[in-house]
A and B are shown apart, each in its own frame.
Chain A
Amino acid sequence: MATQTIAHGEQQRVNYLNWKTTVASWLFTYDHKRIGILYLVSITIFFLLGGIAAALIRMELATPKGDLLTSDVYNKMFTIHGVLMIFFFLVPSIPAVFGNFVLPMMIGARDVAFPRLNLLSWYFFMVGALLATIALVKGGIDTGWTFYTPYSSSFAKGEVSLAIVGVFLAGFSSIFTGINFLVTIHKMRAPGMTWFRLPLFVWAMYATSLIQVLGTPVVAITLLLVAVERSLRIGIFDPNLGGDPILYQHLFWFYSHPAVYIMILPGMGVISEVISAFSKKRVFGYHFVAFASLAIAIIGFLVWGHHMFSTGQSIYASILFSFLTFLVAIPSAIKTFNWMATIWKGRVHWEAPMIYALGFMGLFVIGGLTGLYLAAMATNVHLTDTYFIVAHFHYVMVGGAIMAYLAALHFWWPKMTGRMYPQSWAKLSALLVFVGFNLTFFPQFILGYMGMPRRYHSYPEEWAALNLLSSAGASVLGIGYLLPAIYLVWSLKYGRVVTERNPWGARGLEWELVDTPPDPHNFERTPIVTRPAYDYGHPEEPTGIIPKPRPVVVGGKDG
């Protein structure tokens, strides 16, 4: 079992993939790398389901009349799309897959601080996902992913409470992952891995974990209160029972705005890694980029009221929230300019991950700048709840977060699997995603400015052409997303075998000191970090070294 013979006839090293191969060894693994793979497989399924719902939505909207689906089915479709994509794909995407897979290696640790809790998180996630899927399939729910009261608590039919319990469990999965990473970053860094030698992905994950721990509990309890109101008819949010529906929005957005940063911050971390690795140059303004992550996490908690400018909240509250929203835009601008400066005077290798990263920059910049229209109170009033919002958050969370997710997948794929995917297909799909994405969502900005409300099943005739364009673009985008699924799976069997540790010539412990695919314990011995992150200026000196065997052997424990 420990060694296998592969096609080339050479003996293969024991690695985390082949040292045990039973199903149980996967389902009960404490190995952060295997748990990362478990997440990868499970969220891919939910991405597919959410994507099918999206396809149906765009097909319905290809014509102005509501002719393909009934309005009830349409409402259920966008709810499925939102709930699955946000709670079961985007929130766990980069943190749970790549946070798990590379974060411990990046800081020179054998595993996360609490491996059993890590596995438990995955089970929470899966049980939550199962309950939510049952709720969405069995009759469906039509509240939208925001579960706004009093509609969700007193009016909507269907299994709302069951879906809420599912989201609640997924929330705790996210909280546990956050706690795990916080402690891991604090206590598991290898000797010499000081805070300012950390790769920027780790800084981004630190900021993300803070949000997960501080924000998620609030939405968890808020949704639970909705379920309580639904079942017991206690008037917490329904004004007919004595409650206040706006209180729900305050509590909901207290989490759900920072949750946007849970989705985008890890993506920004990935982009820092990828741009540096393929420009062969240290990330420009390391400290500014690192602190920008923290600034986003902290200020991000103080801006939730910008979702409520038209609800009737006090004008003074709105002014404050608007101002803070403009402030939170600045760190993102800082990051973007620093990425540009990283490319400046670098040696840019146009490999697939780099193309995805450049695509991220393009889409994220549009997503970020259109945020200004929404931070500005007067334009927000006109644009809120229109397709402008839909386009804006898709640019950030799909154009940004998923582009970064794909960049990460292509960047670390050889490390994860020991196989290389076909570069030309990868580059083609990056291009298709970029073009398809813009075709789909750019027209929606225009539709939104003209006033097309979101969550509409039918719309006035004069908007038919732009909607048709958007639906056509969605089919290009769909192909762009399907292609990687095909060639990546293909590469598992037929891709070029990667045996060298560092196929990209990148800096970082996971590339320089970890085998491909990694050893079950990542490092043969705890490494010692001797140089800052991204030290491309000194190619002869590695980022870290593996020390000599210890004088006192403590005994080799194998997993």
Chain B
Amino acid sequence: MSVKEAEVLEHGTSLAHPAHEEILGEQFETLEQQNNAYLIGMWAFIVQEVLFLGAIFAAYGIYRLKYLHEFTLAHKELDWVVGGINTLVLLASSYTMARAVRAAMQNKHGRQILYLGFTLFFAGIFMFNKYIEYSKKYEHHLIPGWGYDAHAIVEHGEKKKILEPLPDGNYKIKLETEKTVTPEEFKQRTQLFLGFYFILTGLHGLHVLVGMIAIGVLMVRAYIDYKKRKPVADYMPVEMVGLYWHFVDIVWIFIYPLLYLIGR
């Protein structure tokens, strides 16, 4: 038996502060243990998310190499300005989220609610922009499986002189190298790109939405804690949502260049 074991045996296992008890789950011994458990759990969840989304990124990469010409034209349908604004908005939201976590650690409820509110606001702007983007795609008939039609891409390509309709009805795409495709192939492959676009941004948007709900819950909790003048900082939930939120941002940091910028 080690010294430490003997010590624990003598004094019992838990030295939890009574005030901590309120926020300590009954399966845990100490707050430190609980916090570490939450952290490891969240990181494991994020690793899981990386593999979940990573598989789509991998498939997207393979098809981008295979259908570079068609994808490049389809890339140009995405609005890099709105995407860029959304990048900045999300980065700002990450900053305010970090401030909210700090406020929670210092048990400053008012400040915590304020920064969470900012984060929610930025997330709202992001979703609004997303809505604008999606509705434009709808106007241009660019939603896969929903009356999808590549006309808009063809017209824009012609205007930019990188796509040339041939007399036989096929399209010639002129990048560094040239490629001729039938309209049917062109439709299929640009639709594949937009499919990836909607799957990736859709899943990302879903994550943002879940985050927004969580932030809303945190605000209510902070308000209740404020009313109760809770003495101990119960910051773990905020920290968890913060981790999640930063992860969601980082996913966007991959989506933006790989979908919006790479084809410009």
Contacts and interface: CB of A to CB of B under 8 A. Distances in A.
Direct interface between A and B, CB < 8 A: yes
Interface of A: 109-115, 175, 178-180, 182-183, 186-188, 190-192, 213-218, 220-222, 225, 228, 231-236, 241-244, 247, 251, 521, 525-526, 528, 530, 545, 547-552, 554-555, 557, 559
Interface stretch (B38-46, B106-114, B150-158): B38-46
Interface string B234-254: 000000000000000000000
Nearest to A216: B48
Nearest to A192: B5
Given A182-B44, A247-B59, A548 B192 contact: no
Interface residues of B, number: 50
Contact of A244 (B8, B41, B62): B62
A527 B191 CA distance: 60
Contact of B145 (A111, A182, A213, A232): A232
A287 to B, nearest CB: 20
Interface stretch (B14-22, B72-80, B163-171, B256-264): B14-22
Query: Chain B CB within 10 Å — which of A115, A235, A241 has the most?
Result: A235
Nearest to A548: B12
Interface in B38-92: 40-41, 44-45, 47-49, 51-56, 59, 62-63, 66-67
A183 B37 contact: yes
B227 interface: no
A247 B40 CA distance: 32
Nearest to B26: A557
Nearest to A108: B13
B contact patch SS: helix
15 contacts: A113-B41, A114-B41, A179-B44, A182-B44, A187-B40, A213-B44, A236-B59, A241-B188, A241-B192, A242-B185, A528-B13, A530-B1, A545-B9, A547-B8, A555-B18
A547 B41 contact: no
A535 to B, nearest CB: 13
Nearest to B44: A179
Contacts of A235: 188-189, 191-192
B217 interface: no
Contacts of A188: 27-28, 33, 37
B199 interface: yes
Contacts of A114: 37, 41
Given A242-B67, A244-B62, A191 B41 contact: no
Nearest to A531: B1
A187 B36 CA distance: 7
B52 A217 contact: yes
B11 A236 contact: no
A484 B69 CA distance: 63
Contacts of B66: 244
Contacts of A215: 51
Contacts of A213: 44, 47-48
A175 B144 contact: no
Given A110-B26, A241-B188, A550-B13, A234 B56 contact: no
